[in-house]
Structure 1
Amino acid sequence: MKMTNEELGIFFREIRKARGLTLKDVASEQVTVSQLSRFERGETVLSFEKLFATIEAMNMGIEEFTSAMNGYSRNNNQNFRRKISIAYNEKNIFALENMLKEYENKDLTTYQRLQYIIVQANLIQVARYREKYLALTNEDILFATDYLMAIDEWTIFEVELFRDLTFFIKNESLFTLANEMIARTTFYIENSKHRESVVTSLMFIYIRFINEKDKKKCLFFRKKIESLLTKDMVSYRINMKMLNLFYDYHINNEKAALFEMNEVIRSLNIIGLDDLSLGFQREFEFFLKYLEDKNS
């Protein structure tokens, strides 16, 4: 939802009043009562730094404020990602193919082309379950990686784009971009959603280097992931447990790791986390098939 300065000021005032706060309650050393009053009347604008400070003074998170601005509905990228996520989780090749058709025979903007590449990347990953092997073109990979290198501060959009490219970028380029992601997400990393996206992307990279049996890079990314995990990131910690067991079996040849992976899946079933258990079971079976194909 795009607002004019006046509309943003009016919206801010409505939120402030709805929370039972006066201008004095929200004012601070950074933003005076007079500045806030003029802002609410649409006479002036606040810098991002000052706007964030006033939002925090209302005991709101930035995500909560922007969600309220959008009428508590998803923005375009969230809707796009939701469609991708549903199709990927259901392994629905046809849904992804239909999404691709939306971009055909069009003069695409930068973001539309990036979305097209994202849909392709997810389609290729889903197709592996149907034994259909496709590939991204070098031109598409170069377009996306050049875009990423041009952005100084990566938002969730860039982090998720990079995650989608994980299995298509050459090893050294992947390692370089992963370090760039770590450096270019420091501004947002305390945001929980952003942190989760970064951790997920690093896990994909960890998987890639486990498959490559690159022990040095595996240990580097394991350490980085573990440094970002917080106690409340339960599903991510379970994911990391499974990945470490995958590492133990595939790289250290620890046969007991297979039994432990099955035990994790069984435990999730017992406590009623069926969706999580099913996801792990699917990946576990694909992992075994991958090893079987590789050794045959």
Structure 2
Amino acid sequence: MEKNLKTGKIIAFIRKTKHLKLKEMTGGSFSESQLAKFEKGETEITVGKLFTVLENSNVYFDEFQNLYNDYEQSNEYSYRHKLAIAYAQKNVEEIKEIQDFWKEKCQQKPDNKFYQINQIVVKINLAMVQNSKPYKKDITFLMNYLDSVDEWGRYELWIFGNCLRHFDDNALEYYGIQILGKANYYHSIHLNQQIVIRIFLNLIDTWLRRENLIQAFKYINHLNEIGISINFFYEKILFEYHKAHYKVLQKQKGAIEEMKKHAQILEDHGYSLEAKVLFEEIEKL
């Protein structure tokens, strides 16, 4: 009922901002009174009727999704962004606070597997920041979940992208092969496409760190075939950086300078925190 109320409020918001009448929204496909009750959260409408309302309002579904996510952003939705920032800043205290949030959620509803998954992902991020290893049982829990899902959406991509560095070689190779078959939505959804590209970049980086040039080259070829749009500027430059890193491990001359050049490009375009990490990595080579 809470979701119906939220969706209804968004539809009411769309109608009022576009100065449309209930009749214009329904197009005569169903009663105006049903739509009015839906806007108040008093009743439900079918998915087909929702699409009719959006079509008659000239609102695309992805626009509706953005409104839905932004209208009353929940802790469950916004914490991922906070976690990403805390990890990038190596902010242990912030990550621990997020972990406490999910620990409390798990205590309130111990049978909710998504709360357990979220807590594990945070624990793994904390382990990476502290240069420690996560529990094997936690990694196994995540792998069992990923194996159980036939079609990966944004949530599953987020799980894999955050935790792939702690998968062993066999698991990493297996999921790397599976990802394109499991994430069919990435072609048509802009954000999902960006997430998939970042996962491939993480895979390349992970294989390079393990000095497995064969696997790294395979995913470099994958990204070359997919292509990275100029709309994904950060990802495009980071890809060039990883390709230069690959050349370094092949002992090619000038490759270190090439890595520095791409890190500098990111810094010059406002990615100072990310560039700092890359420069630190270059110093260790």
> Shorter-chain TM-score: which interval?
0.7 to 0.9
- 1:126/1:192 CA distance change after superposition, 3 Å: same
CA displacement 1:94-142 (0-9 Å, x = unmatched): 2223333441793633112111211111112222xxxxx3111111111
> TM-score if structure 2 supplies the norm length?
0.82
- Counterpart secondary structure, 2:184: coil
Alpha-carbon RMSD: 3.0
Which residue type is aligned with residue 115 of structure 2? Q
Partner of 1:12 in structure 2? 11
Partner of 2:90 in structure 1? 91
Partner of 2:278 in structure 1? 283
Report deviation, 1:143.
0.5
Report deviation, 1:255.
3.2
Partner of 1:115 in structure 2? 118
- Counterpart secondary structure, 2:84: helix
In 2, Cα distance between equivalents of 1:44 and 1:100: 36
Matched, 1:125 2:120: no
In 2, Cα distance between equivalents of 1:138 and 1:95: 24
In the TM superposition, 1:218-229 aligns within 5 A as 218-226=216-224, 227-229=226-228
Partner of 1:216 in structure 2? 214
Corresponding residue to 2:192 among 189, 194, 201? 194
Partner of 1:40 in structure 2? 35
Report if aligned partners of 2:266, 2:275 keep a CA contact under 8 Å in 1: no
Report if aligned partners of 1:10, 1:40 keep a CA contact under 8 Å in 2: no
Partner of 1:178 in structure 2? 176
Partner of 1:161 in structure 2? 159
- 1:268/1:162 CA distance change after superposition, 3 Å: closer
Structure 2, unpaired ranges of 5+? none
- Counterpart secondary structure, 1:3: helix
In the TM superposition, 1:46-125 aligns within 5 A as 46-47=46-47, 51-52=50-51, 55=54, 58-70=57-69, 72-102=71-101, 103=103, 106=107, 108=110, 109-125=112-128
Report deviation, 1:21.
5.3
CA displacement 1:207-232 (0-9 Å, x = unmatched): 11122333332232123223152231
Which residue type is aligned with residue 112 of structure 1? Y
Report deviation, 1:60.
3.5
Partner of 2:261 in structure 1? 263
Report if aligned partners of 1:39, 1:46 keep a CA contact under 8 Å in 2: no
In 1, Cα distance between equivalents of 2:58 and 2:222: 31
In 2, Cα distance between equivalents of 1:201 and 1:52: 32
Report if aligned partners of 1:38, 1:44 keep a CA contact under 8 Å in 2: no
- 1:114/1:259 CA distance change after superposition, 3 Å: same
- Counterpart secondary structure, 2:3: coil
> Higher helix share goes to which structure?
2
- 1:58/1:205 CA distance change after superposition, 3 Å: farther
In 2, Cα distance between equivalents of 1:110 and 1:18: 39
In 1, Cα distance between equivalents of 2:223 and 2:34: 41
Report deviation, 1:157.
1.6
Report deviation, 1:161.
0.7
- 1:113/1:204 CA distance change after superposition, 3 Å: same
Q: Which 10-residue stretch deviates more, 158-167 or 179-188?
A: 179-188
Matched, 1:143 2:141: yes
In 2, Cα distance between equivalents of 1:247 and 1:40: 58
In 2, Cα distance between equivalents of 1:11 and 1:112: 27
- Counterpart secondary structure, 1:229: coil
In 2, Cα distance between equivalents of 1:246 and 1:53: 51
- 1:94/1:23 CA distance change after superposition, 3 Å: closer
> TM-score if structure 1 supplies the norm length?
0.79
